[in-house]
Amino acid sequence: MTNYNKILDECIDLILNQNYGIEDCLAKYPELQNELSQDLQLATSVNNKLKSTINEQTKARTKAIVLDKFNSIEKNQSRTLRNIPSIFYKGIPPLISRWSSIAAAILLFSTLGTTTLVSASSDSNPDENLYPVKRAVENMRLRLTFDAEKKNELRLGYSNKRIEEITVMADKGDFEQIDVLQKDLEKNIEIISNNENKTVKEKIFQELKEGYITKEEAEKFFEQEKSEYQDTNKTYKETDITYPRKERIMKLKHYIENKELKIKELCEKMEKFNSSDFQEKMNKIEKNNPERWHKMKTRQESLLVNCEKHIEKHAIYKEKLAKLMSEKVTTKYMVP
């Protein structure tokens, strides 16, 4: 058993990390073919099904949080090392924080020389790679602005940007992003609410009122849109719109991903069946063991049928998703 465990472990490594196929491992250990085949199929199945695709934008944000945390810990440590009695440095932290921001800004602009990068990022949306740069620049500007009124104007500008982004995300049906943006926006509103200058406060709220939409409202509009389709378009009523658009997009993406895995799993095997080596092997089996040949042939045929079905479904799902994504719903959200 110990030996089998080692072989199984080695094969899992080869398959997961070195692009070996199950067949390659079985060929290496033909005496363990039966047991190994079952374990390796299950192992690759677990790997394929449970390994998820990472959201690059979330990763970038998390990375920024982690590095920010690292900086603040380092800062605290160096402060402690100086061993200054607290009474003397009570007022220093905000200054340190501010100067470090300035240093970071100078570093960012000088090392990257990235006016192009920064301006390119200014129109980016949350599902784009440059978006974290846009947010970093915004944060930097906020930190470098010392005048309270100017700071609030900046906040207002950024709030409007969030609203625009929410609209774009709503258009794409990406409710997860709406949720994140909504939280950011609400944080901004909270800060603005604490503003002592009434004129600034009112101006800001007036502007916010004109464009702000919550996730719940967006979902409500999707519902309305659904019923509108049901009244006007019979084809939609019968086939596609059986539940809200958001769910539908999510499920279609899930089905497409699932079919892609199936196609990879089954149809690639079909290629092997068509190879001359395999045909030769089959001819030999046909002569020596007709019963086995018959079983193998039946299995091969059912695999082909399955493979074709998956390809067909995959195409249908992709078409449905494309249709759904191409629908414009933005204007409906912007009803004042």
Partner 1 sequence: MTGNFTKNDITTLFEENYEKVVNYIASRISNMSEAEELASDVFVKALEHIDGFKNKGIPIEAWLYKIAHNITIDYYRKKKYPTINIEDVINMESYNSTEKKVLENLDKEEIKIALSKLSSLQQQVIQLRLVSGLRSKEVAQIMEKSDGAIRELQRSGLKALREILYTNKIFITEDSGR
Contact residues for partner 1, defined by CB under 8 A: 1-2, 4-6, 8-9, 12-13, 16-17, 26, 33-34, 37-39, 41-43, 45-47, 49-52, 54-55, 58-59, 62-63, 65-67, 69-71, 73-74, 77, 176, 242-243, 247, 251, 254-255, 258, 262, 265-266, 269, 299, 302-303, 306
* Sole residue written with tokens 């970071």: 104
- The C-alpha atoms of residue 297 and residue 290 are separated, in whole angstroms, by 10
Q: With respect to partner 1, which residue has the nearer C-beta, 211 or 244? A: 244
Structure tokens at 207: 């502007």
Least distance (Å) from partner 1 to the CB of residue 255? Answer: 6
Least distance (Å) from partner 1 to the CB of residue 336? Answer: 31
For the beta carbon of residue 46, count every other beta carbon within 10 angstroms. 10
First to last CA, the chain: 71
Structure tokens at 100: 């470090």
DSSP H helical ranges for 90-240: 92-112, 115-121, 131-144, 148-172, 175-193, 198-211, 215-232, 234-235
Least distance (Å) from partner 1 to the CB of residue 262? Answer: 8
Q: With respect to partner 1, which residue has the nearer C-beta, 175 or 212? A: 175
- The C-alpha atoms of residue 282 and residue 13 are separated, in whole angstroms, by 30
Structure tokens at 8: 């199984």
Q: With respect to partner 1, which residue has the nearer C-beta, 5 or 115? A: 5
Q: With respect to partner 1, which residue has the nearer C-beta, 65 or 102? A: 65
Least distance (Å) from partner 1 to the CB of residue 200? Answer: 34
Q: With respect to partner 1, which residue has the nearer C-beta, 89 or 243? A: 243
- The C-alpha atoms of residue 188 and residue 85 are separated, in whole angstroms, by 35
Helix (H, G, I), strand (E, B) or coil at 128: coil
Helix (H, G, I), strand (E, B) or coil at 105: helix
Least distance (Å) from partner 1 to the CB of residue 114? Answer: 19
Which amino acid appears at position 325 of this protein?
M
Q: With respect to partner 1, which residue has the nearer C-beta, 33 or 197? A: 33
Least distance (Å) from partner 1 to the CB of residue 213? Answer: 21
- The C-alpha atoms of residue 285 and residue 271 are separated, in whole angstroms, by 19
Q: With respect to partner 1, which residue has the nearer C-beta, 41 or 193? A: 41
CB 5 within 8 A of CB 43: no
For the beta carbon of residue 265, count every other beta carbon within 10 angstroms. 15
Q: With respect to partner 1, which residue has the nearer C-beta, 140 or 296? A: 296
Least distance (Å) from partner 1 to the CB of residue 216? Answer: 18
Least distance (Å) from partner 1 to the CB of residue 316? Answer: 11
Computed on alpha carbons and rounded to an integer, the radius of gyration of the chain in Å comes to 29
